[in-house]
Structure 1
Amino acid sequence: MLSYQHAYHAGNMADVHKHAILAWILEYMTRKDKPLTYMETHAGRGLYDVTDEMAAKTGEAAQGIAIARKWFAANHPYAVALDKVHADHGPNAYPGSPMVAAHVLRPSDPLFLTELHPQEFGHLRENMKPHAAICQQRDGWEMALSQCPPDPRRGMLLIDPSFEVKTDYETIPDTIRKINRKWSVGVIALWYPILTDAPHLPMTRALKRNHPDALCHEVHFPPARAGHRMVGSGMFVINPSYGLEEEGKWLSNQFRKLL
């Protein structure tokens, strides 16, 4: 399905959760003087305006990053990325995960970004030109299965589907197991929404059975508006970086302030 556009949701609390963890992992990985590859299966457009018509229609950024920005110290890698994007694109800009990654990684670290939606892909290619990202309009799952293990072999794959396709909850555990078999050393991170009817639970149970040493980090927050079904956000990370569990505990404490 190609109807999903993240511009309606950019900068919401789920983005705060996802991007804070993403930035922390990548900053930790760049501490070693070794090259790494960054890949995304569902990249979106990479850069958003939280005051445009789509964002204003939902108001999710106002209930997300506008509240959470003060949680992060100036030297936190997520805050550093936000500050760089604001310097380049203005105070109303919000980075998607490709742009967060680009501002944390080194110029020598390759970025492979996949987006199937034609309109979103056009924006992605234009927004990521300054960062020399390799952008492909193709199915992200196919990319991950065909491109793993990448070169350089050390690296991270972010899987961030819209979950518009309801069978994703059923097929994701097996697909990730296949990717992990092909690329046992890669950091593989899956983002998923926590909805009021909790369709993620069978998926996360299967993921935990398949990857008992992975880190599953979840946070909860109030719905962005009346009737909104998303009340939390999850990140399932295979081969988590040292210290990520402690970072997750700190982040959980920040989200508890909202409840």
Structure 2
Amino acid sequence: MLSYQHIYHAGNPADVHKHALLCWMLARMGAKPKPLTYLESHAGRGLYDLDAPEARRTGEADAGIGALLGGLAADHPYLRALAAVRAAHGARFYAGSPRLAVELARPGDAMHLAELHPGEFDALHDTMRGYGARLHRQDGLEMAMSLCPPQVRRGLMLIDPSWEVKTEYRSIPDALQKLHRKWNVGVLVLWYPLLRDARHRTMLAGLEAAGLPGAVRHEVTFPPVRAGHGMIGSGLFIVNAPFGLEEEAARIATLFA
């Protein structure tokens, strides 16, 4: 969807849920001395100025990183990565998942990022300059189908659509099954919003019926970040979930209690 720009939502409660668990998974997988491939289907611009007019217009970060991070352990990989980004760019910046992943990457790791929006892609190019990531201005799932299995087979893919196209809810279960068949050892991480109309339920029924291995579903709920906002929670569906994920997800859930 070429209208979506995450700057309006950066640092909101869903970002805290998604990024805290993403960083934990990358740190967990990176603890072994074997290289990783990181892929992302909808990378956005990778770095967000929370003083920008778009971010201040919605103020969603106030209910997210402004209210929730104090409940994390000081050495949590999410906080470590975010602190490194802010040390480089300033305290009012928030890192998108590509920039967080850079902070947790090691020599020998590979990274492929897809972004279709022309303005967001140009900003992503600036954000990721010098980090060795391969950028793809194309549909993220098409990128994944063409690259999987990656040369470095051990790795993780984040699938994080805008969900502004309702057909995505119907197509995602089939896409995840195809990706898993091509890359059966890859950790596949799907983020989805919990909306008042519960449109995600049919998609989840399809995913759960597929019997994908090591599947973990985790959801948190929170009040709407502003009047009239339809998102009331955040969900992750993870295939080949790393060991210990369910325990970490339970800890993250306490932030939203």
Find out whether 1:229 has 2:230 as its counterpart: yes
Displacement of 1:163: 0.5
- Paired residues of 2:48 and 2:93 also in contact (CA < 8 A): yes
1: CA distance between counterparts of 2:178 and 2:74?
39
- Paired residues of 2:16 and 2:65 also in contact (CA < 8 A): yes
Unaligned runs of 5+ in 2: none
1: CA distance between counterparts of 2:251 and 2:69?
15
Q: Deviations over 1:2-36 (max 9, x none)?
A: 00000000000000000001000000001110011
SS of residue in 1 equivalent to 2:106? coil
**One-letter amino acid matched to 1:254:** L
**One-letter amino acid matched to 1:26:** L
**One-letter amino acid matched to 2:67:** I
Displacement of 1:107: 3.0
Task: Give 2:218's aligned residue.
Answer: 217
Task: Give 2:205's aligned residue.
Answer: 205
Displacement of 1:183: 0.6
- 1:76-91, aligned counterparts within 5 Å? 76-91=76-91
Q: Which moved more, 1:131-140 or 1:26-35?
A: 131-140
- Paired residues of 2:213 and 2:240 also in contact (CA < 8 A): no
Q: Deviations over 1:224-243 (max 9, x none)?
A: 00110000000100000010
Query: With structure 1 as the length reference, what TM-score do the two structures score?
Result: 0.97
2: CA distance between counterparts of 1:162 and 1:176?
17
Task: Give 2:106's aligned residue.
Answer: 106
SS of residue in 2 equivalent to 1:172? helix
Task: Give 2:152's aligned residue.
Answer: 152
- Paired residues of 2:194 and 2:200 also in contact (CA < 8 A): yes
Aligned length: 256
1: CA distance between counterparts of 2:104 and 2:157?
15
- Paired residues of 2:213 and 2:239 also in contact (CA < 8 A): no
Task: Give 2:6's aligned residue.
Answer: 6
Between the aligned residues of both structures, percent identity stands at 54
Find out whether 1:245 has 2:235 as its counterpart: no
SS of residue in 2 equivalent to 1:131? coil
**One-letter amino acid matched to 2:255:** Q
- The two structures, once aligned, show a CA RMSD in angstroms of 0.8
2: CA distance between counterparts of 1:212 and 1:249?
20
Task: Give 1:171's aligned residue.
Answer: 171
